C-alpha cells in the first residue's frame, strides 16, 4: 500500500544543511500496524511527514496505492491526502468548537451537507466512546478524550491510512493503553492501515505487527516486531529492547548471554530446568516478558559460570531446545 523508495530529506539553512532522513526504504502493506521507532532526533516525525508529503522529500519516491505522490500536482495531492489522515501528540483541536463540530470540520471542508456531516460525526464519536461528550469543548475534556476526538476527526474522511505521530506521548499509562486498544480496534474493524511513530518500545510491542528502527535518520533494522524483540541486530534496537536498567556497560560479568524465548516457553520453569540438567548455576542480571500479538515473548540476561565446560553444556541445552541466544559483549 505504501512504499518508500530511498527517501531522503535535507533541511537547508544559511549556516548548514541538516539531513534528517537518509535513504529510507520501507514497504507498508494494507492492514499493517507499522511502527517507526527511534530516540529523539532520529528523524521519525520528518519521515512520517514525508509519507503524506507535508514535507516533500529531497530525493526518493513515496508510492501510495501504486501512485508516486511526488509526481502529483497540488490539486491531485490534496485529493489523495484525504485517504491519509494524521493525528498528533498535541491533539490540534479547535478550541472554539465542540467535540462534534471538531469532527465535522473536515467534512465541512469537503462540502458534505450539514445534516449528513453531523450524523457522521456523531457516529464517529460513538465509535471512539465519546457520544456523551459531543457538546463539550476541548477545555472540558481530558487528554485521552481530546485524543479520541482527534481520532474521530481523522476518520471523518474515510481514510485508508492513519498516521500517528507520537499520539500517546502526552498521556498517562492507563490512558495510553486505552488509546492503543482503540487504534487496534479501528485497524481490525474498519480495515485502516496504521503507521505509529513513537520512541517507546512498549507502544510498538502492544499493537504493531511490523517495525522499523531509525537511528540518525537511517533505518538500522526492520521486520516483524517479534523478530526484532527476539533477536535485535543493531545497537539502537538492542538499547530499545534490552530489559530496562540493564545496559551492556553495567553488566558485572564478561561471560554473559541474552536469551530470547516465545510462546508457552515463557511460562516454563526455564532457569530451574537449566540448572538441574546442566549441573550449573547462572545469575539473572535482567529479565523481561512482553505480550506481543497475544503471545508471551521473554528475554533474560544471564551471567554464566566461569568454567568453559559448564558454559558449553548450557549452550548445548539452549540449542537442543531451539531457544535463541546471543553472547553479550561486556566491558573488559
DSSP annotation of 158: -
Closest CA to 287 of 256, 264, 313: 256
Cβ–Cβ < 8 Å for 59, 46: no
Cβ–Cβ < 8 Å for 50, 7: yes
Cβ–Cβ < 8 Å for 299, 287: yes
Read off the pTM.
0.81
Do 139 and 229 share a domain, yes or no? yes
Residue whose cell numbers read 535485535: 232
Residue 222: φ, ψ to 5°: -150, 160
Cβ–Cβ < 8 Å for 184, 33: yes
Q: Quick one: pLDDT band at residue 20, thresholds 50, 70, 90?
A: very high
50 three-state secondary structure? helix
Among the three residues 177, 211, 236, which one is the final residue of a domain in this structure?
A: 236
pLDDT tens for each residue of 273-304: 888 888 888 888 777 766 666 666 777 788 88
The percentage of the chain sitting over the pLDDT mark of 90, rounded to a whole number, equals: 51
pLDDT tens for each residue of 70-79: 999 989 998 8
Do 139 and 277 share a domain, yes or no? no
Do 205 and 85 share a domain, yes or no? yes
Angle (CA) 196 197 199, round 5°: 125
2 beta partners: 28, 64
Q: Quick one: pLDDT band at residue 249, thresholds 50, 70, 90?
A: very low
pLDDT tens for each residue of 215-247: 999 999 999 988 888 778 888 988 887 655 444
- Residue-range definition of the domain harbouring residue 150: 2-236
- Tell me, what CATH number does 94's domain have? 3.40.50.300
Among the three residues 236, 257, 287, which one is the final residue of a domain in this structure?
A: 236
Do 20 and 163 share a domain, yes or no? yes
pLDDT tens for each residue of 149-184: 999 999 999 999 999 998 888 888 889 889 999 999
Residue 315: φ, ψ to 5°: -65, -40
Three cell numbers written together for 267: 511460562
Among the three residues 236, 257, 275, which one is the final residue of a domain in this structure?
A: 236
pLDDT tens for each residue of 37-72: 998 889 999 999 999 999 999 999 999 999 999 999
Number of domains the chain is built from:
2
Amino acid at each position: 500500500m505504501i512504499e518508500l523508495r530511498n527517501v531522503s530529506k535535507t533541511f537547508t539553512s544559511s549556516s548548514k544543511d541538516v539531513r534528517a532522513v537518509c535513504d529510507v526504504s520501507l514497504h507498508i502493506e494494507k492492514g499493517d500496524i507499522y511502527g517507526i521507532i527511534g530516540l529523539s532526533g532520529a528523524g521519525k516525525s520528518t519521515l512520517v511527514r514525508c509519507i503524506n508529503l507535508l514535507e516533500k522529500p529531497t530525493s526518493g519516491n513515496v508510492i501510495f496505492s501504486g501512485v508516486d505522490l511526488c509526481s502529483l500536482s497540488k490539486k491531485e495531492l490534496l485529493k489523495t491526502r484525504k485517504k491519509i489522515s494524521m493525528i498528533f501528540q498535541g491533539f490540534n483541536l479547535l478550541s472554539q468548537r465542540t467535540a462534534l463540530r471538531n469532527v465535522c470540520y473536515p467534512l465541512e471542508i469537503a462540502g458534505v451537507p450539514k445534516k449528513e456531516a453531523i450524523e457522521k460525526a456523531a457516529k464517529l464519536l460513538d465509535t471512539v466512546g465519546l457520544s456523551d461528550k459531543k457538546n463539550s469543548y476541548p477545555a472540558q475534556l481530558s487528554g485521552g478524550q481530546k485524543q479520541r476526538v482527534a481520532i474521530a476527526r481523522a476518520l471523518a474522511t474515510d481514510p485508508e491510512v492513519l498516521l500517528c505521530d507520537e499520539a500517546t506521548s502526552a498521556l498517562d499509562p492507563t490512558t495510553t493503553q486505552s488509546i492503543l486498544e482503540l487504534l487496534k480496534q479501528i485497524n481490525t474493524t474498519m480495515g485502516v492501515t496504521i503507521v505509529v511513530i513513537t520512541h517507546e518500545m512498549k507502544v510498538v510491542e502492544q499493537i504493531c505487527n511490523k517495525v522499523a528502527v531509525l537511528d540518525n535518520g537511517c533505518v538500522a533494522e526492520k521486520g516483524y516486531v517479534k523478530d526484532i524483540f527476539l533477536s535485535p541486530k543493531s545497537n539502537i534496537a538492542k538499547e530499545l529492547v534490552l530489559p530496562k536498567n540493564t545496559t551492556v556497560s553495567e553488566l558485572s560479568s564478561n561471560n554473559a548471554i541474552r536469551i530470547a524465548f516465545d510462546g508457552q516457553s515463557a511460562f516454563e520453569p526455564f532457569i530451574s530446568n537449566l540448572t538441574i540438567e546442566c549441573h550449573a548455576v547462572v545469575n539473572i542480571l535482567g529479565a523481561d516478558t512482553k505480550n506481543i500479538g497475544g503471545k508471551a515473548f521473554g528475554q533474560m540476561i544471564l551471567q554464566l559460570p566461569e568454567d568453559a565446560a559448564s558454559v558449553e553444556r548450557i549452550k548445548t541445552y539452549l540449542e537442543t531446545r531451539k531457544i535463541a541466544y546471543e553472547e553479550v559483549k561486556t566491558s573488559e
